[in-house]
Chain A
Amino acid sequence: EVQLLESGGGLVQPGGSLRLSCAASGFTFSSYAMSWVRQAPGKGLEWVSAISGSGGSTYYADSVKGRFTISRDNSKNTLYLQMNSLRAEDTAVYYCAKDPSSSSWYKENAFDIWGQGTMVTVSS
């Protein structure tokens, strides 16, 4: 069964850092681009970042560019999101999501598998 399991969320002060992880199973992890998508409490979905299957190409939303870093370890089947200089507006559930068909990230593609999410709260 294809599964994604996020971890690493929690409460952090403004200006602090946090690293999220997403453990993948049930598919050849390195063959697929991956993304992070977040959802603020009671709000809609917002794409945050994407990475190619090899890890050689990364993409970011303007709202997190320069503060967040996406990476992956294909030997561990794990996706990461390093979040620095956190702000109150970064408070959200963070989901990792899989590209349906390619190791290259195509901006028009859907996300076919989602994890259950991990909550990040930025507050003093």
Chain B
Amino acid sequence: QSVLTQPPSVSGAPGQRVTISCTGSSSNIGAGYDVHWYQQLPGTAPKLLIYGNSNRPSGVPDRFSGSKSGTSASLAISGLQAEDEADYYCQSYDSSLSVLFGGGTKLTVL
């Protein structure tokens, strides 16, 4: 059980909008530490998708957006495409446990 809790799976039809939550606590997200998001396509290395809660690296489509509030963060994907089917991980820091990743969420495009 990860300290940063993500839903194991989410799904959506092409064109729809989906959100993936990342729930932490007062010792990590709630303490003000940044949340980052990664996309891992099948059989490949993770790729940075969102950093510093809501910033997109160069080359990441603006269909991907991040937000943070209180002890939780969210990744939103709008205009869902088949190529978005992947595992998504959140990352933050915990004052007791060091660098943390969420357990991951598998996105299925129906």
Residues of A within 8 A of B (CB): 35, 37, 44-47, 50, 59, 61-62, 95, 100, 107-117
Contact = CB atoms under 8 A, between A and B. Distances in A.
Nearest to B92: A108
B110 to A, nearest CB: 23
B74 interface: no
B68 interface: no
A95 B89 CA distance: 15
A114 B47 contact: yes
A44 B106 CA distance: 11
B34 A117 contact: no
A42 to B, nearest CB: 10
A117 B36 CA distance: 20
Contacts, number: 58
Nearest to B32: A108
A44 B98 contact: no
Nearest to B57: A112
B102 interface: yes
B36 A44 contact: no
12 contacts: A45-B104, A47-B100, A95-B45, A108-B33, A109-B34, A111-B38, A111-B46, A112-B57, A114-B46, A114-B47, A115-B45, A117-B45
B52 interface: yes
Interface residues of B, number: 24
A50 B93 CA distance: 14
B99 A95 contact: no
A44 B2 contact: yes
Interface in B65-110: 89, 91-93, 98-104
Given A44-B104, A117-B45, A110 B2 contact: no
Contact of A110 (B51, B98, B100, B103): B51
A18 B46 CA distance: 24
Contacts of A109: 34
Interface in B24-53: 33-34, 36, 38, 44-48, 51-52
B48 A110 contact: yes
Of A37, A45, A111, most buried by chain B (CB within 10 Å of CB) is A45
Given A44-B2, A44-B89, A111 B48 contact: yes
